[in-house]
A and B are shown apart, each in its own frame.
Chain A
């Protein structure tokens, strides 16, 4: 499984972990990972430590997750990214939209 998800016992956070290139091929896997999760006032963590590349459709997928989280008054935090991934996130100014680190 290229995307795994784990929900914390207190139902306050969910960690979505990517295990390879984060691109369009993960479209449905990524969405399926969170679509049935409901956190109230919680935090979605996206663990990018297994990822060395994201493309613009991955950025789009993160925006979809944010929309999902916003509707549950929850936030999205991106963690574990390497320098290359950070640069891609910076170019898109995603630090203005997501919690980082």
Chain B
């Protein structure tokens, strides 16, 4: 009858009669149980607090505290499972039922049959073993969870380091909502100022959950921030991110994403939607355009930067853009219905003040799914096109101080190179490494961009800049530019930069010359004083940013001088 598994288990015998205790101690002790005796309920509670008790044999009628009271206190206070067997002389059904109600697990009527007692002990102790197994497993699961949360926190910290600028705020027009751990559901938002002082934004949703999704986000954030800061076009950033994901992720994992780029010089929005729900553009109380996904999500197949489907749209001040991940659409109510696109559109069509739309969508979605288990995290972004923006200060390039030096660089690009390659970020990077101009970096980039665009658009491709007089025309201009770039067979652009020390060596002069192989034009007729025209604005900007600008040759050479002084601080 002795079950080896229960050998050494501790039985607490609670009885005020010494003969009963003696009998139980003798019998149980002989069978290998460890027996502890107490005389009443209070002593029993003390024993449970101080000793490792496995099971309790409890008399009902005792002085100080009776069996019923003792059992209910034990069941309330003790977290682990300690079975209680009542030993009772009463045989009426009400008393026996009361044993179970008070928290007893079983009862035995005195005088008891010892065989029956050990059978009950064995059966209850088997349940104790099961409980202990489950508790042990729970502990280990909790331990694992804790460890996983810690690992996720580390990953999140790394991710935050990679993308440290939070661009949200009333001065940027950007709002978004994500729960702190939503990156472990694979959602990521990245924002960076572009060269037109607009924002480039990437909203991404990785397949899968947990660490695997988070791990993909880190290199992508690095690619996005580094390349955007270095003035790469958003399509180049997408192509690079795509390559990186193909290299890194297993076949079944990919990243759905939307890339937004706001060109503030021309008030043009570019959208690339690769696998996310429609992006909405809201103006004057209605949605005036939706941008559907037209691209394969990233990380699936190789793409060059020109293969992405880009949609463009002129922006007006006050326009609002809405981007969602699946989480918003798939937020589910207790009845199993999804929030869905229709309910999002409903909110946007209601009479809600513009500046509360974002919060309204969020609160409506939260109300809808109240009480239901959350399946996915909700990521929602709003970007408002403001007349004036200012961004939080961001750490750009290294502030390493370099001694000014004399140097020159020359880039000669034939038509094939121009078609395949955006040289400007590389030129800027070289300049920046040779001579970091802290305050002049953006200015210098604008000068170079405008001179280069002038040479390519007008010099080589002979595009009519008056096309750009309307925002719609600007887009036609852009398309025509792509077409001509593909079809033109010859031509080249030469860019040269020369830096010479000036004064006592604390400053210098950068001479930028851009030459194109085109036919030139009558530059004397160019009216640099006309503020309003879109055309000619580029060169006007250059002349206002540099010390001196000259148009030379037959109009196909432009030289700009840029003088700088080291900060005295």
Contacts and interface: CB of A to CB of B under 8 A. Distances in A.
B565 interface: no
Contacts of A91: 256, 275-277, 292-293
A56 B293 contact: no
B275 to A, nearest CB: 5
Contacts of A73: none
B341 to A, nearest CB: 10
B374 interface: no
Given A92-B256, A92-B293, A93-B295, A60 B277 contact: no
A100 B326 CA distance: 23
B274 A93 contact: yes
A64 B275 CA distance: 18
Contact of B300 (A61, A63, A90): A63
Nearest to B206: A56
B254 interface: yes
Interface in B236-295: 251-254, 256, 274-277, 292-295
Interface in B191-221: 205, 207-208
B275 A60 contact: no
A90 B326 CA distance: 14
A96 interface: yes
B294 A63 contact: no
A59 interface: yes
B297 interface: yes
A61 to B, nearest CB: 6
B408 interface: no
Contacts of B296: 92-94, 96-97
A93 B254 CA distance: 13
Interface residues of B, number: 21
B293 A93 contact: yes
B301 interface: yes
Contacts, number: 49
A67 to B, nearest CB: 5
Interface in A32-79: 56-57, 59-61, 63-64, 67
A43 to B, nearest CB: 20
A57 B252 contact: yes
Contacts of A90: 293
A91 B295 CA distance: 8
A96 B301 CA distance: 10
B275 A93 contact: yes
A59 B301 contact: no
Contacts of A97: 296, 300-301
B549 to A, nearest CB: 46
Given A56-B326, A97-B296, A97-B300, A92 B252 contact: no
A52 B385 CA distance: 39
Contact of A63 (B252, B274, B277, B295): B252
B74 to A, nearest CB: 43
Nearest to B252: A60
B110 to A, nearest CB: 55
Q: Which of B205, B292, B295, B297 has the most CB of A within 10 A?
A: B297
A59 B207 contact: yes
B207 A93 contact: no
B251 A67 contact: yes
Given A61-B252, A91-B275, A93-B296, 19 more contacts: A56-B256, A57-B252, A59-B254, A60-B207, A60-B251, A60-B253, A63-B251, A63-B300, A67-B251, A91-B277, A91-B293, A92-B275, A92-B293, A92-B297, A93-B274, A93-B295, A94-B296, A96-B296, A97-B301
Q: 8 closest pairs, A vs B, by CB?
A: A60-B252, A56-B207, A93-B296, A91-B293, A92-B275, A64-B252, A67-B251, A60-B207
Interface of A: 56-57, 59-61, 63-64, 67, 90-94, 96-97
10 contacts: A56-B207, A56-B326, A57-B208, A60-B208, A60-B253, A61-B252, A91-B292, A92-B256, A93-B297, A94-B296
